[in-house]
Structure 1
Amino acid sequence: MATITDPQADRTEAAPLRFLKAVPMVVYTLVGLLVFWELAVRLGDVPSFILPTPTAIAMEFYDYGHRLFPNAMVTLFEVLLGFTLAVLIGVPLAVSIVYSKFMAKGVYPLIVASQTIPKVAIAPLLLTWFGYGMTPKIVIVILLAFFPIVINSVMGLKSAPDEMLHLARSMGASSWQTFWKFRLPQALPSIFAGLKLATALSVIGAVVAEFIGADKGLGYLIVIAGANFDVTRQFAAIICIALIGMSFFLVLERVERFAIPWRDKSDGHD
């Protein structure tokens, strides 16, 4: 005797499976790590002042969120402003290095050499010059972020094949048209690689600057919590920093996909 199957029931049964497949693999990995962390700390009876549990850190967000959120906004503002200024300085500087022999031979080597100076070493000088306000933090973010932007932009702008540039000129393209239609599209992948690297360095720069001298920001909270041996609060601030960095990176990836739509097609991505 033939059995009658209900298509609606099959779809209902398959819905949880489809949901599980739609969840990115990294989510399962993260949940697994958190569960392992929780169990290891509880079963190992590890003191909270050495390693708090994820649930304790989550409760810290609930109890101390009124302080974490405003200070996270301060750090986020420093990162965004410093990164934006680094882009506005770095990209035009890279263009001038590619098009000017003086900039390429007289300034570019100095930019490279300047990166051998640890930014932490000059941070006290910036505090002396600019005080403990926002300015020294922004300057440190710019100093850390603009170098990968310059380097990758220069490499990208120089990557355009000579044959392509000669063809553009032979067809009567002006210098501006050659740059806009040939050099820049060819350089965009390298430029965005530098920008994405600069996002991480911007966050690092802002937090390090707050470590050295600040009265607000996530770096400041970490220093104060460390002085009070409040490791749970330090972890909460660190997670906020990680969320800022990851969110910033993901936003930039979206911008990259919008600016370079042909790259996803060439890579076979949807």
Structure 2
Amino acid sequence: MSTRNAIRHAATAPAVLPVATFIGLLILWELACRLFAIPSYVLPSPSRIMGGFGAVDAARWFAHVWSTFRVAMMGFLLSIVISLPIAIALARSEVFSRAVYPILVVIQSTPVVAIAPIIIVVMGAGDLPRVVITCLITFFPLVVSTTTGLLATPPELIELSRSLRAPVWREITQIRLPYAVPYIFSALKISVTLSVIGAVVAEFVAAEKGLGYFIQFSTSMFQIQQAWSGLVVLVLLSLSLFQAVNLIQRVFFPWSIARQSR
């Protein structure tokens, strides 16, 4: 392979272009802040944001990240436990679907930010209301995508299983769920990032720890660089959780990725 072809191949690699674009945007951001003398309280430069990390000790960072991560994961796992049975019931029963699906749409259409204070008042100021708020934000994509995947099963396979008098649980676990796996993981990737948003929303309302609380407190004290550094940590946390779900799919369900790419 010639040098020119090697450079072209490296430039078109999947990981190179996004990283190069991101670095280019950071450089433009830094130059714009310096050239136009943008005040740091309006838009701090990346170098000032990096300085905000050093203003907070590692123990405080760990406490805030762990608090947000813990609530996000509990709400995310709770949404999985709730969503899968609902999705199976929606796919199995048209009567149940007509009765329950409009209620799910109403719940999803209700702004969680508006009802979060009510949930805090009713359930107290512990982890439970924050987990519930996170679950309310994350469960709907799981229900919709899982139901779509279950209904995407070829009807001839369902007819074959019923002609062989296969139990309902075998039809669900061995026929419908394997076809729904690509849809489930698509929803999981969305919901796991939404879980971080849900945890932050809950921390805005009532919390003494967490990245949402840290950003809100830093902003109220006009420590804008620290607030932006907290935002960066939030983005990194969301990306890490997204990649973790993607890794689980690649390791344990690689066939679902091949089916998804068709």
TM-score (norm 1): 0.87
1:59 equivalent in structure 2? 51
Determine the C-alpha separation between the residues in 2 that align with 1:25 and 1:118. Answer: 37
Determine the C-alpha separation between the residues in 1 that align with 2:171 and 2:259. Answer: 23
| Paired letter, 1:41 | C
Note closer, same or farther for the CA distance 1:267–1:192 as it changes in structure 2 (3 Å cut): closer
Return the match for 2:109 from 88, 92, 116: 116
1:217 equivalent in structure 2? 210
1:83 equivalent in structure 2? 76
1:33 equivalent in structure 2? 25
2:146 equivalent in structure 1? 153
Q: Which moved more, 1:61-70 or 1:177-186?
A: 61-70
**Deviation for aligned residue 1:106:** 2.5
Determine the C-alpha separation between the residues in 2 that align with 1:252 and 1:268. Answer: 17
1:178 equivalent in structure 2? 171
**Deviation for aligned residue 1:40:** 0.9
| Paired letter, 1:261 | P
- Matched-pair identity in %: 36
Task: Report matched runs for 1:1-270 at 5 Å.
Answer: 21=11, 24-66=16-58, 67-266=60-259
| Paired letter, 2:126 | G
Q: Which is greater in Rg?
A: 1
**Deviation for aligned residue 1:172:** 4.6
Q: Which moved more, 1:206-215 or 1:169-178?
A: 169-178
Determine the C-alpha separation between the residues in 2 that align with 1:227 and 1:93. Answer: 42
Determine the C-alpha separation between the residues in 2 that align with 1:259 and 1:158. Answer: 23
Determine the C-alpha separation between the residues in 2 that align with 1:165 and 1:38. Answer: 58
TM-score (norm 2): 0.89
- Deviation string 1:172-196 (CA, Å, 9 cap, x unpaired) is 5332222222111111111112211
Aligned residues: 258
Determine the C-alpha separation between the residues in 1 that align with 2:90 and 2:259. Answer: 30
Determine the C-alpha separation between the residues in 2 that align with 1:224 and 1:108. Answer: 39
Corresponding residue SS for 2:55 = helix
- Deviation string 1:104-154 (CA, Å, 9 cap, x unpaired) is 232232122222211111111111112222111111000111111111111
Determine the C-alpha separation between the residues in 1 that align with 2:9 and 2:66. Answer: 34
Q: Is the 8 A contact 2:182 2:260 kept in 1?
A: no
RMSD after superposition = 2.5
- Deviation string 1:160-179 (CA, Å, 9 cap, x unpaired) is 12112112233453322222
- Deviation string 1:188-239 (CA, Å, 9 cap, x unpaired) is 1111122112112211111111111211111111111111112111110111
Gaps of 5+ in 2: none
Q: Is the 8 A contact 2:90 2:96 kept in 1?
A: yes
**Deviation for aligned residue 1:80:** 0.7
Determine the C-alpha separation between the residues in 2 that align with 1:55 and 1:84. Answer: 37
| Paired letter, 2:16 | P
- Deviation string 1:49-70 (CA, Å, 9 cap, x unpaired) is 1111111111221231432232
Q: Is the 8 A contact 2:130 2:199 kept in 1?
A: yes
